[in-house]
Amino acid sequence: MKKPLLFIACLLFMVSAKAQSVNEKVKIKEFGLIWGFLKYHHPELSAGKKDIDVEFLNHFQQLKDISDRKELNAFFLNWIQSYGEVSNKVKKPKEAYKFTKNLNLDWIENGAFNPALQQTLLALRANVKNCKGHYAKLESLTRFVSFDAEKKLEDFSPKKLAHRMLTLFRFWNVINYYDVNKYLAEENWNDVLENSLDQFLHAHDAKTYDKAKTELIAKLNDSHTFYIGKTYGYPKFKYKAPFQTTYINDTLVITKFWNKELCQKNGVQLGGMITKIEGKTVKEYIKANFKTFYNHAHENALMYRAESIALYQENRNEINIRYTNANNDTSESKTIQLFDRMEVDKQKESLPKQAFYGKKFYEITPKTAYIGLGYLEKNDLKKLLKKAAKYEAVIFDLRKYPQHVELPKLTKWLYPDRSKFIKVLFPTKVPGLGEYDAEAPLNFVSDPFSGGRKNKNYYKGKVILLVNKSTISQAEYISMAIQNSPNCITIGEETLGAVMNITSIPMPEGAAINFTSMGAFYPDGTNVQRKGVKIDYKVTQMASQPERDMMMEKALEILE
């Protein structure tokens, strides 16, 4: 009887010992979570009284000698207490902080931390007024969040595990606490950390590190974000086709020749259509090869971003395509030659612009005026609106990025009274929380998210708005303002879904990564980030007739 009991006791001891062990990945993950939490919550660290990166590197080195859960918890607790005692007095956040979809602190209580460590972390969170904002500063005038206190690591090397982990956790924690649009990403941000950690652990050289970083950044699903690394990204674009293409309905239409002579060698013509690449549909090929290189809010945004690079190669100077000629009467599988990118870029020739397109103002019919908002120069808008006032309808074109649209003048012309056209979600001083229409940017301006004023002479005609896959950021913001006018119809295709400001995150090796740090909604609460603006009539171009402006045709059809 004693032997079975002895065996069970030994077994229980082995199970207990195994349960207390902790592996490298778990240690590093918990370390990065606690470091990011302290960075933005601890009164000493969030005030910038310590160099947060030095703290990371110094304490990270101590992890390698810890293999026991009890010892690890003690290490974390001693680390926190080394900055001074944490007050147990709870100070609740203001009621205004109501947006909690991005709050992500379950790891404190759901992990393997002991009660003392949990209570210490929760006490720090409860004292939110102690968050000083040195590393995430809300600008007093604009309410934009700034990460200018982040530093470049002068001796950075991707060969050093600690340096790679600093990159991962700096970026992950910034997004975790200050990207108000994080909840919209395709992948849960905790899962992103779990998957990225495996990649960064094994990224022992510059190229694999760059790949891990590229794929991490792609998880934002933010059309404002762009990153192509020097060692992993750029080499993939060594050889390119000598022409430009436009993506239309799963087809690449050849719209410009960069080099006529090289295009003739390939036997392609303007208006020619590529329907397959390396045996895959264009959409399949782009998603398989470029999804991580071009951050995108949705699939249409990816196609737009990748249409100009779909025919690039890294290690060979040819590619197989399915090609249909411009007359749409012959189709063949052919291998075309690609050329050195620098050679191709020496000569660029543009196609003639479409009718209407490229003009500031155009009388389409005696009753209808066209204003190309993307082509306006400074001080153009006021005089063009005056001209448009005599027409029964006006078509505003936002398919090219606008540089000189004075929104107060435009909304005054369009609105009968002052009216709110956008609802904005802001980050707050409390990490992980957001608030709608907080103290507005440029707070010396009265309600900048409304437009117009009482005006009995506002424009009472029909308003048509044209948007497409290149309508992004400020163009989407202006679109929302125009759509708020009493008689507006929007025609086009899915816009890029990145409306508000761009914020940069300085990275340890010196690069900077952009993201959209505010959220945009219609006044009725409909989200615009990742979705794009509302569209009344969805219209796309025809691949077989790219010269036709299908959106303009639809506008004229509606007006008739």
Question: Which pairs count as long-range contacts for 545-550, CB under 8 Å and 24+ apart, including other chains?
Answer: 546/246, 546/248, 546/253, 546/255, 546/271, 547/271, 547/354, 549/354, 549/355, 549/356, 549/357
Fold adopted by 234-344: Pdz3 Domain (2.30.42)
**Structure tokens, 246:** 């436009």
Going by pLDDT thresholds of 50, 70 and 90, the confidence category of residue 9 is very low
pLDDT at 495 over 90: yes
Percent of the chain with pLDDT over 90: 72
pLDDT of residue 10: 42
* pTM of the full structure: 0.89
Going by pLDDT thresholds of 50, 70 and 90, the confidence category of residue 5 is low
pLDDT of residue 351: 40
pLDDT of residue 306: 86
Stretch 468-493: mean pLDDT: 96
Tell me if 376 sits within 8 A of 400, measured CB to CB. no
Lowest mean pLDDT among 49-63, 136-150, 432-446, 460-474: 432-446
pLDDT of residue 440: 53
Beta-strand ranges (E) seen in 135-175 are 137-138, 145-146
Element (H, E) at 369: strand 368-372
The residues, ordered by sequence, that sit 6+ positions from 91 with a Cβ below 8 Å of its Cβ are 126, 127, 128, 129, 130
Stretch 82-86: mean pLDDT: 86
6 or 321, which is more confident: 321
| Domain positions in the chain | 16-220, 234-344, 361-559
**Structure tokens, 99:** 């947006």
410 or 355, which is more confident: 410
pLDDT of residue 93: 53
Stretch 507-511: mean pLDDT: 94
pLDDT of residue 347: 63
How confident is the prediction for the chain on average, in pLDDT?
A: 89
Mind listing the pLDDT tens digit for each residue in 527-537?
999 999 999 99
pLDDT of residue 346: 67
Taking phi over 0 as left and psi of -120 to 50 as alpha, with beta for the rest, 452 belongs to: left
Stretch 382-398: mean pLDDT: 97
Mind listing the pLDDT tens digit for each residue in 336-364?
999 988 778 766 544 444 544 468 999 99
Fill in the DSSP letter of residue 220. Answer: G
Mind listing the pLDDT tens digit for each residue in 288-335?
988 887 788 888 888 888 888 889 898 899 999 999 999 888 999 999
Fold adopted by 361-559: 2-enoyl-CoA Hydratase; Chain A, domain 1 (3.90.226)
**Structure tokens, 171:** 């970026």
457 backbone dihedrals φ, ψ, rounded to 5°: -100, 25
pLDDT at 77 over 60: yes
Stretch 426-440: mean pLDDT: 84
**Structure tokens, 25:** 């990945």
Stretch 52-78: mean pLDDT: 95
pLDDT of residue 119: 93
Stretch 152-179: mean pLDDT: 97
Going by pLDDT thresholds of 50, 70 and 90, the confidence category of residue 229 is confident
Mind listing the pLDDT tens digit for each residue in 90-148?
555 555 558 999 999 999 998 899 999 999 999 999 887 888 999 999 987 778 899 99
Lowest mean pLDDT among 64-73, 412-421, 440-449: 440-449
* C-alpha pair distances (Å), 184 with each of 189, 362, 498, 530: 10, 40, 12, 7
